[in-house]
Amino acid sequence: MFTRNWSAEQVEEQLASMQHVATGVAVETLSFRGEDPLKAKAFVQDLAGVLDKMSTVLEAQAHFRAEIDLLREEVAQLREEKASLISSYEAKIAEMDEEIARFRKERADLMGRLIEDCCSEGSRAAMPDESLLARPLVVKSGSEFLGVAGKGKPFSLRDLISLLRRNAGSQKVQRMDWEQEQDVWQLHIQTVDESGKEHDYHLKVVATVTPSKNAVTQLREMTVDGETVPDKFVLMLFKTVKEGLEH
């Protein structure tokens, strides 16, 4: 039966059928009782044969039931092992996720400190005055100075650098430093994208006063990988920042 790949339920049904047949033969044989000695002898022989068959069936049934119980135990054990393996793998995956999150946080904190050093007083590298970082950041379009104001506070150069700091983990900022050329300060930012390619950003800013006597920091020029960004794209950048501050 097992060589036919029967299920445990099919084997039990077959055993029950065998037992029913054997019982039926016994009942049929017992119906031939009589006083004839020959018939009585034949009855005894038939009864012995039936009992032998029933004994064989019962032995086979007991054997098969034992095999079925063993198979069920093995299946239950396999299920327990499967559940244990799944639980173990899930625990390892969770542990790896925690480790990755920890590494990402450490990297973001490290880059944050690096960027903060570029904006902090007392840095060994050349640094602009605090006023240059705190004044409203504007671009000049014709004779107009256009800035970004969101939630009652003008967007400053420090705010722009803080945005870079918060996104340092994803932007992979490698270097950020200042360089002064007369009254113009140049901020150099170097990043690496996911493919490993380096990108260079240069922002030239200068302290100035608008016709309405407002002290501001003017973004005079912005280059990306050596290409100057047109003023209209810088204005679009400012507009995007403004919309982000208002939401």
| pLDDT tens-digit map of 98-118 | 988 888 777 666 666 665 655
Mean pLDDT over the full length of the chain: 74
**Which residue did the predictor score with more confidence, 136 or 127?**
136
Structural Rg of the chain based on CA atoms: 44
All residues at 6 or more sequence positions from 86 whose CB lies less than 8 Å from its CB, including other chains: none
**pLDDT tens-digit map of 151-179:** 667 888 887 777 665 654 555 667 778 88
Rounded Cα–Cα distance for residues 195 and 192 (Å)? 8
Q: DSSP code of 3? A: G
Q: What confidence tier does 247 reach under pLDDT thresholds 50, 70, 90?
A: low
Q: Is 178 exposed, middle or buried (0-12, 13-18, 19+ CB in 10 A)?
A: middle
Rounded Cα–Cα distance for residues 169 and 229 (Å)? 25
Three-state DSSP at 45 gives helix
With a pLDDT cut of 90, the percent of the chain lying above it is 5
Q: Of 72, 178, 176, 169, give the one whose Cα is nearest residue 114.
A: 176
pLDDT for res 13:
63
Q: What confidence tier does 45 reach under pLDDT thresholds 50, 70, 90?
A: low
Rounded Cα–Cα distance for residues 184 and 171 (Å)? 26
pLDDT for res 208:
92
Let me know: does 170 contact 184? Beta carbons within 8 Å.
Answer: no
* 216 phi/psi in degrees, rounded to 5: -135, 170
Instruction: Label residues 215-227 b or e (16+ Cβ within 10 Å = b).
Output: ebbbbebbeeeee
